[in-house]
Amino acid sequence: MKRIINTVNAPAAIGPYSQAIEINNTLYISGQVPIDPSVGKVVADNITDQTAQVMKNIGAILDEAGYSFSDVVKSTCLLSDMANFRAMNEVYGSYYKENPPARAAFAVKELPLGVLVEIETIAVK
C-alpha cells in the first residue's frame, strides 16, 4: 500500500508532488532543495551550506518515515555547475562514511529557485 510521507521538519513541496512516497518497503524522496523549513526559504548562499541543508531535509524525511541514511540505496545529485561537485561531495560524503549508496551526479541548466544543488533519494528497508 502506498504511504504519503510529510513532515514539517523538511520544506513543503513547491509543486504538485509529495515530499516522499513509501511503497513495498521502499522510500522515494522527491528532490530536496536547500529551503530551511523553519523560515520557508533558501538562506544559504554557497554550495557547502546549501548541500548541508539539503541533507538535513533528507534526514528529516527519512526520520519521519522510519528510515535512516544507512537505508539509502540510491541518490541523484543535480548541480547548477560541476565546479561545485567537490564541495558538494565533501558534505554529501559525511553522511555516508560506510557503504555509500549508488549515485549519479550531474549539472543541469538551472534548478528551482535558483539553488545550487538538489538531491533525490531512494531508501529500502
| Cell numbers representing residue 109 in the block | 541548466
Number of domains observed in the structure of the chain: 1
Long-range contacts of 34-37 (CB under 8 A, 24+ apart): 34/115, 34/116, 34/117, 35/11, 35/113, 36/11, 37/8, 37/9, 37/10, 37/11, 37/12
| Cell numbers representing residue 46 in the block | 554557497
* Domain of 87, in residue numbers: 3-124
Q: How far apart are CA 67 and CA 83, in angstroms?
A: 32
pLDDT at 14: 84
pLDDT at 64: 98
pLDDT at 101: 98
Sequential pLDDT tens for the chain (125 residues): 999 999 999 999 888 999 999 999 999 999 999 999 999 999 999 999 999 999 999 999 999 999 999 999 999 999 999 999 999 999 999 999 999 999 999 999 999 999 999 999 999 99
Q: What is the CATH number of the domain that holds 98?
A: 3.30.1330.40
pLDDT at 66: 98
Tell me how far CA of residue 73 lies from CA of 32, 52, 93, in angstroms: 16, 19, 14
